[in-house]
Amino acid sequence: MQQEAKLIIFTAPSGAGKTTIVKHLLKTRKDLAFSISACTRSQRYGEVNGMDYYFLSLQDFKRRIEADEFVEWEEVYDNQFYGTLKEEVERLLALGKSVLFDIDVKGAVNIQKHYPERSLSIFVKPPSADTLFARLRGRKTEDEESLRKRIARASDELTYECKFDYTLVNDNLEVALAEAEKVVEAFISEGNSGLEKLKHGNGHHA
């Protein structure tokens, strides 16, 4: 029997590794699709419009807020807006795909509220704040100002862990990717009971 399509939300402070994990899962499972968010920040080297994000002007983003086109949106950094378009989520669910999200902690809380029955929220936790900052610097995508903003926001975001269904510690990447695969499989095939079984087996307390 075909399983009902689900929503799987990855959230974390910048640099924790959610994009890396989401990209890995998309390669391993064809029943998953990525919810491409809209945002107003500028495109990074290597990012593709309509694949990584829909890069919009501030004016266009604000027009879409007025037109009620978003499931949720946040001004994540000053004048940098990010949001999930209703049309995007509906399109992917209609294809029968389970939808993966890579969004900030407040957006994740909002998506959970919209789809309480069929969403799973996973908080990606770095082994320490220092490791998080080192990864963010090592990624070399941000200038000093942008790094400063991300680091300043991270301490607050780390306090949101308890709001989510599952904590995935991203220390060794291979271990984290394997755990992410298991959690997604458990939830897609058996829903919350599958998740509980997995947590129980792991001695996981989140």
Ligand X SMILES: Nc1ncnc2c1ncn2[C@@H]1O[C@H](COP(=O)(O)OP(=O)(O)O)[C@@H](O)[C@H]1O
Ligand Y SMILES: Nc1nc2c(ncn2[C@@H]2O[C@H](COP(=O)(O)OP(=O)(O)O)[C@@H](O)[C@H]2O)c(=O)[nH]1
Q: Please enumerate, by residue number, every residue annotated as part of a binding site for ATP.
A: 12-19
Token pair for 8: 């799987």
In sequence order, the 6+-apart residues with CB closer than 8 A to the CB of 7 are: 89, 98, 99, 101, 111, 115, 118, 119, 120
Token pair for 77: 């950094």
Q: Could you say whether residue 166 binds ligand Y (CB under 6 A)?
A: no
Between the alpha carbon of residue 165 and those of residues 63, 137, 199, the distances in Å are: 33, 29, 10
| Listed ranges 100-108, 122-130, 177-185, 190-198: which one lies at the site for ligand Y (CB under 6 A) | 100-108
Q: Are 187 and 8 in contact (CB under 8 A)?
A: yes
d(CA 29, CA 27): 6
Within positions 115 to 144, which residues make up the interface with ligand Y, using CB under 6 A? none
Q: Could you say whether residue 107 binds ligand Y (CB under 6 A)?
A: yes
Nearest CB to ligand X, comparing residues 144 and 174: 174
User: Which of 150, 166, 170, 177 is in the footprint of ligand Y by CB under 6 A?
Assistant: 150
Residues forming the site for ligand X (CB under 6 A): 12, 14-20, 135, 138-139, 170, 173, 176
Q: Could you say whether residue 187 binds ligand Y (CB under 6 A)?
A: no
Label the pairing between strands 53-55 and 70-77. unpaired
- Binding mask 73-92 vs ligand Y (x if CB under 6 A, - otherwise)? -x-x-----xxx--------
d(CA 48, CA 53): 7
Please choose which of ligand X, ligand Y, none residue 170 contacts, taking the beta carbon within 5 to 8 angstroms, the exact cut-off set by kind. Answer: ligand X
Residues that bind ligand Y in the complex, under the rule CB under 6 A: 14, 19, 37, 39, 41, 72, 74, 76, 82-84, 102-104, 106-107, 150
